[in-house]
Chain A
Amino acid sequence: GNSVTQMEGPVTLSEEAFLTINCTYTATGYPSLFWYVQYPGEGLQLLLKATKADDKGSNKGFEATYRKETTSFHLEKGSVQVSDSAVYFCALIDTIGTASKLTFGTGTRLQVTL
């Protein structure tokens, strides 16, 4: 079956540091890939997505590139802010009829300090 593996957290960085959160996946075919973010006590928000190999998703300074050869979708940001502190989930999607099934990684908590 499909699976997503993320680096374990928590990740603690100083403000303006460079961020990388690793994500690799196992799937049949070439699923679309997503990064979701969850702020404390809230639901998930879509951060960025990529639907095919070599696509780069980007949003709010975050980027991730769909790498078919390494089955990876690592999240990066050049300069993190305190407001980026949250849990980040990598996910892939399967289409099931007219619905879809998301398979999530376990999440990586990011803590940014001044």
Chain B
Amino acid sequence: DGGITQSPKYLFRKEGQNVTLSCEQNLNHDAMYWYRQDPGQGLRLIYYSQIVNDFQKGDIAEGYSVSREKKESFPLTVTSAQKNPTAFYLCASSGLAGPYNEQFFGPGTRLTVL
């Protein structure tokens, strides 16, 4: 089955630690995205990537980093510089741009900083 997988589902980290969230897709999509969701808020774009070895900052990139070494993978690192990292993180992917360019979402990773 084609889709997007994220791991782990739940993640706990201590303050001051970096942590990496995994996102893999087998939809053969070129573009991939990371969003952050906080209670009572919509999703906010952290980073996106249009092709391998290229990525762009979204609206709230500070304290985060990404890489795109393979088409199917787009890991997100939450660094110790992120002041309030506890949130639900969602990865998405999409095909070529156009009016039907819907994004497909993974199941999410809930990160809690202890």
Contact = CB atoms under 8 A, between A and B. Distances in A.
Contacts, number: 77
B50 interface: yes
Task: Tell me the interface secondary structure of chain A in the complex.
Answer: strand
A27 interface: no
B99 A32 contact: yes
Contacts of A83: none
- How many chain B residues sit at the interface, stated as a range, is 20 to 34
B103 A100 contact: yes
A31 B113 CA distance: 37
B42 A98 contact: no
Contacts of B49: 99
23 contacts: A32-B99, A32-B100, A32-B101, A34-B102, A36-B105, A41-B108, A43-B90, A44-B92, A44-B105, A89-B43, A93-B102, A95-B101, A96-B48, A96-B50, A97-B50, A98-B30, A98-B50, A98-B96, A99-B33, A99-B50, A100-B94, A104-B42, A106-B40
